[in-house]
Structure 1
């Protein structure tokens, strides 16, 4: 009689462990999916911001160019056109970021850094561990005891 109950309990325990393992796997997959969707949304916002900035800067560039050309026609001094050079580079950079393949080049360079220059990606003092996080939490609690009016940083 006892062995039947023990076998039943062991079977239930095994099924529960399998269920928990499967739920953990699903949770991790959902977190990865969520983080990827958030990354995609942030990237889309950055691209949209670059495009909006290009509209404003392009308008400024067009008006400034018209003003400089008009100034050159009146004065015949080529120095009036000198600001066109840096403005052209800035406008071209912004257009490349907004509509060109700048993001592809940035991604390729980031992949190159991650593959061949991993030492640049290391955090100062290494990865935080549970013990260092707990120690920092305890230190903060201790500081609060001694200096209750000072807001934590």
Structure 2
């Protein structure tokens, strides 16, 4: 009789463990999907910001180019167009960020770094563990209770 009961309890415990593992997996998948969606939204916002900034900067660059070129021709001083050189680099960067392949090149470089320079990505004192977080939480909790007294 005890053997049958023990066998039944073992089977129920195994089913419970499988159920818990399945739920943990589902929760992890949901978190990963949510984090990826948040990352995609942040990247889209950055690209949208860059495109919007480009509109304003492009207008400024056009007006500055026309004004400096007209001033250089009228005053016969070609040095007046010199500021257009650094301004054109900023314009090219903004164009590449908003409409070019900068994101793909950055992703490729990041993948290369992750593959060949893994040691540069290590966190100081390593990855946080449950024990280290719990120790910090307890220290702050006891410090807060001491300060209230």
What is the RMSD computed on CA atoms of the aligned residues?
A: 1.9
User: How big is the shift at 1:145?
Assistant: 4.2
Partner of 2:77: 77
Partner of 1:55: 55
Query: What stretches of structure 1 of length at least 5 have no aligned partner?
Result: none
User: How big is the shift at 1:30?
Assistant: 1.0
Partner of 2:144: 144
Partner of 2:99: 99
- 1: distance between equivalents of 2:48 and 2:62? 21
Partner of 1:126: 126
Specify the SS of the correspondent of 2:24: helix
- 2: distance between equivalents of 1:148 and 1:136? 18
- 2: distance between equivalents of 1:130 and 1:58? 50
Specify the SS of the correspondent of 1:59: helix
User: How big is the shift at 1:4?
Assistant: 4.5
User: Deviation digits for residues 46-74 of structure 1, max 9, x if unmatched?
Assistant: 11111111111111100111111121122
User: How big is the shift at 1:89?
Assistant: 0.7
Partner of 1:28: 28
- 2: distance between equivalents of 1:22 and 1:93? 47
User: How big is the shift at 1:147?
Assistant: 4.0
Query: What stretches of structure 2 of length at least 5 have no aligned partner?
Result: none
User: How big is the shift at 1:90?
Assistant: 0.6
Aligned length: 149
- 2: distance between equivalents of 1:9 and 1:21? 18
Partner of 2:39: 39
TM-score by length of 2: 0.89
